[in-house]
Amino acid sequence: MTTITTERLSPTVGAMVHGVDRDRMAEDEDLPAWTLEKLEEFGALVFRGLHLDDAAQVAFSRRLGTVEKLGPPPFPEIFRVTLDPSRNRAAPYLKGTFWWHIDGCTDDIPIMATMLSAHDVAETGGETEFASTYQAYEDLADDEKERYDKVRVVHSVEATMRLHTPDPTDEQVAMWRQRPAKEQPLVWTHRSGRKSLVLGATTDHVVGMDAEEGRALLDGLLEQSTRPERVYRHEWEVGDLVLWDNRGVLHRAAPYDPTSPRDMHRTTFAGDEPIQ
């Protein structure tokens, strides 16, 4: 069997995987453990040109972990990422993905990871970018680490939605607030011993800090974490598959025309680790 190799895509996040095809995903008993190990190492894994259908994607996803059911039959594990409301009723909320974020920061336990398969792509835009908040924490000065270990931040859906709808109606605000805000530490201390920063579009304010000062802190850390040299930008081709670690990797989609055919099929892996 062909040896699997990885090719680093940026100094801090992302690796291209060579030597894996659809048959190997279904049959190689060692591949799931290898994949999870490399995901921990690189933060994001890219498999070019696999062309997985939903059945194959779900089958491999189940070999990696517990897959959440967020979509309709026949494959409820598949959530379609598209701005076309005829294909996804949650399409308006997906505009929030144009800003850097970590999924699930308003939940008790965020998701572990996400897998995205390209079934159609936008003519322009729609690339997905990744940045490691593990590395962002590691690069802090010792006094910054000590300071930020004590900082707590409130996250909310409303904070994200206001980025693209700055003048919402009362009805929109009421809908956003149906999901309660969540206070989280700025620094996530993982069971593995690694630490990462918890940043992105859901950050509403810093607990106990002046609003402007807190916003400046969060925006500054996000800017530092996502400097161009720290980012891997994936230019999608039909058939690509990308898997990333949601616990320590920020991501965002480049804006694209809502009428474009872009259609990504996502599987989502349940987490088992609260932010603490």
Torsion of CA 119, 131, 194, 181, to 10 degrees: -80
The answer to whether 25 touches 31, Cβ cutoff 8 Å, is yes
Go through 92-108 and write b for each residue having 16 or more CB atoms within 10 A of its CB, e for each that does not.
eebbbbbbbbbbbbbee
| pLDDT computed for residue 85 by the predictor | 83
For residues 115 and 102, give the distance between their C-alpha atoms in angstroms, rounded to a whole number. Answer: 14
Q: Which pLDDT does position 169 carry in this prediction?
A: 95
Q: What is the pTM for the complete model shown?
A: 0.95
Dist. CA 218–CA 222, nearest whole Å: 6
- The two tokens of residue 187 are 């620094």
Per-residue model confidence (pLDDT) at position 240: 98
- Alpha helices by DSSP H, listed for the chain, are 22-27, 31-42, 54-64, 133-138, 142-148, 157-164, 170-176, 211-225
CA distances (Å), origin 262, targets 91, 127, 212: 12, 10, 37
Task: Collect all residues with Cβ–Cβ distance below 8 Å to 245 and sequence separation of at least 6.
Answer: 39, 40, 43, 44, 112, 113
Of residues 247, 93, 112, 220, the one with CA closest to residue 160: 93
H/E stretch holding 241: strand 241-245
pLDDT one digit per residue (tens) for the chain, 276 residues: 789 999 999 999 999 999 999 999 999 999 999 999 999 999 999 999 999 999 999 999 999 999 999 988 999 999 999 998 888 777 777 878 999 999 999 999 999 999 999 999 999 999 999 999 999 999 999 999 999 999 999 999 999 999 989 999 999 999 999 999 999 999 999 999 999 999 999 999 999 999 999 999 999 999 999 999 999 999 999 999 999 999 999 999 999 998 999 999 999 999 999 999
pLDDT score, position 87 = 81
Report pLDDT for 1: 75
The pLDDT value recorded for residue 275 is: 97
